[in-house]
């Protein structure tokens, strides 16, 4: 069964309001536009991660083999409540028309998409119980596993992240990649609820006025089923730029998973452009030089900008 993005699920739900919100959220976020989602029962993802295979062996006639079993560990991820409340003065709508309210709704959609994306990287339920855990908490030991490579910087650095959304077939069986989840079966992809005209309190906290109110609700989670399905080139700075060797090593270390995408912020994206060559190639209609082209992929894997990746991440030891 093919995996569906959040927009696919919204379209499948047949809720036009939800489709509009998800379109706005996805257009401004590279990760959110590609991340596969599925609905789960309840609000918690529970599964067993296999960490070891059973012992087997060849045997001769009239010989037995000792019983054994695979080794697994229980894993649990919890979805969280992401929401917002829009209040627009009735007089402002009267003056500017309902388009003013629609424009404000789009702004909330952008904010919700940004909050989800940022949480996927930096969410930590230990410091903020209202967040779901992101990569900083889910994969604290990536360095030991070889999935995090340092570019050499020590402060004011950023990273390139690699994600594999597809499952991998290995000698240990099927291993699952990265996925977004929606609570309670995903019956409500993203809710935009028109609460109509209500009396709301002004900034002083005492006086009330009529306003159009919209409630936004979303119950998402972010699940990394296997540590090999995510990689990172960290500590990237102006004097510590990514190299072809680091890209190649990261892809190798993520095996058996193959990255579907590399994500970085705009500054790091410009650093990547230094990897291009300056050789002349024979192109259709005459000669051209890759000196004047952008690096959009590495080994066929697309590179996209995600502005929710900060420029000042924690240094990787």
Tokens representing residue 85 in the block: 């409340």
Strand boundaries in 90-229, DSSP class E: 148-150, 158-163, 168-170, 173-175, 178-182, 191-201, 208-218, 220-224
Report the pLDDT value the prediction gives residue 204, as an integer from 0 to 100: 84
The tokens 């680091």 sit on which residue?
Answer: 246
Q: Is 0.85 topped by the overall pTM? A: yes
pLDDT of residue 300: 93
Tokens coding 235? 């500590």
CA nearest 31: which of 268, 255, 230? Answer: 230
Per-residue pLDDT tens over the stretch 255-282: 999 999 999 999 999 999 988 876 665 6
Kindly state the average pLDDT of the residues 236-240: 89
The number of residues making up the chain comes to 317
| Tens digits of residue pLDDT in 26-59 | 877 889 999 999 999 999 988 887 778 889 999 9
Helix, coil or strand: residue 267: helix
Residue 76 has a pLDDT of 84
**Cα pseudo-dihedral 218, 141, 125, 306, rounded to 10:** -40
Asked if the peptide bond before residue 256 counts as cis, ω within 30 degrees of 0, the response is yes
Nearest to 162 by CA among 249, 47, 38: 249
Is a pLDDT exceeding 60 seen at residue 138?
yes
Cα separation of 208 and 11, whole Å?
A: 38
Of 295 and 314, the structure prediction assigns the larger pLDDT to 295
How does DSSP assign 239-266, residue by residue? TB---HHHHHHHHHHHTTS--SEEEE-H
Give the chain's domains with CATH numbers.
Answer: 14-49+75-277 (3.30.2400.10)
Distances from the Cα of 179 to the Cαs of 6, 22, 119, 248, in angstroms?
11, 17, 14, 24
Phi-psi category of 32—alpha, beta or left, where left has phi over 0 and alpha has psi -120 to 50? alpha
Token representation of residue 22: 């998800």
CB atoms within 10 A of CB 227: 19
């Amino acid at each position: 069964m093919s995996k569906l993005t959040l927009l696919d699920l919204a379209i499948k739900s047949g809720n036009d309001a939800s489709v509009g919100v998800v379109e706005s959220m996805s257009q401004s976020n590279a990760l959110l536009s590609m991340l596969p989602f599925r609905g789960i029962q309840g609000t918690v993802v529970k599964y067993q991660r296999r960490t070891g295979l059973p012992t087997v062996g060849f045997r001769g006639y009239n010989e037995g083999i000792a019983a054994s079993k695979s080794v697994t560990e229980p894993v649990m991820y919890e979805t969280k409540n992401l929401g917002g409340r829009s209040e627009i003065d009735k007089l402002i709508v009267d003056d500017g028309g309902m388009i003013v309210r629609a424009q404000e709704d789009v702004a909330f959609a952008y904010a919700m998409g940004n909050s989800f994306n940022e949480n996927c990287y930096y969410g930590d339920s230990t410091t903020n119980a209202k967040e779901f855990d992101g990569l900083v908490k889910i994969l604290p030991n990536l360095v030991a596993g070889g999935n995090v490579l340092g570019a050499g910087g020590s402060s004011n650095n950023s990273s390139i992240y690699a994600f594999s959304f597809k499952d991998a077939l290995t000698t240990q069986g099927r291993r699952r990649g990265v996925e977004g989840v929606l609570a309670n079966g995903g019956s409500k992809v993203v809710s935009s609820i028109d609460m109509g005209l209500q009396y709301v309190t002004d900034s002083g906290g005492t006086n009330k006025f009529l306003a159009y109110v919209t409630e936004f609700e979303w119950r998402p989670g972010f699940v990394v089923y296997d540590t090999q399905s995510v990689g990172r080139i960290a500590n990237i700075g102006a004097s510590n730029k990514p190299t072809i060797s680091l890209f190649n090593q990261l892809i190798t270390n993520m095996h058996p998973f193959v990255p579907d995408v590399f994500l970085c912020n705009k500054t790091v994206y410009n650093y990547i452009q230094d990897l291009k060559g300056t050789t002349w190639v024979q192109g259709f209609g005459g000669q051209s030089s890759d000196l004047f082209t952008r690096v959009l992929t590495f080994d066929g894997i697309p590179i996209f900008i995600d502005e929710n990746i900060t420029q000042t991440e924690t240094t990787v030891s």
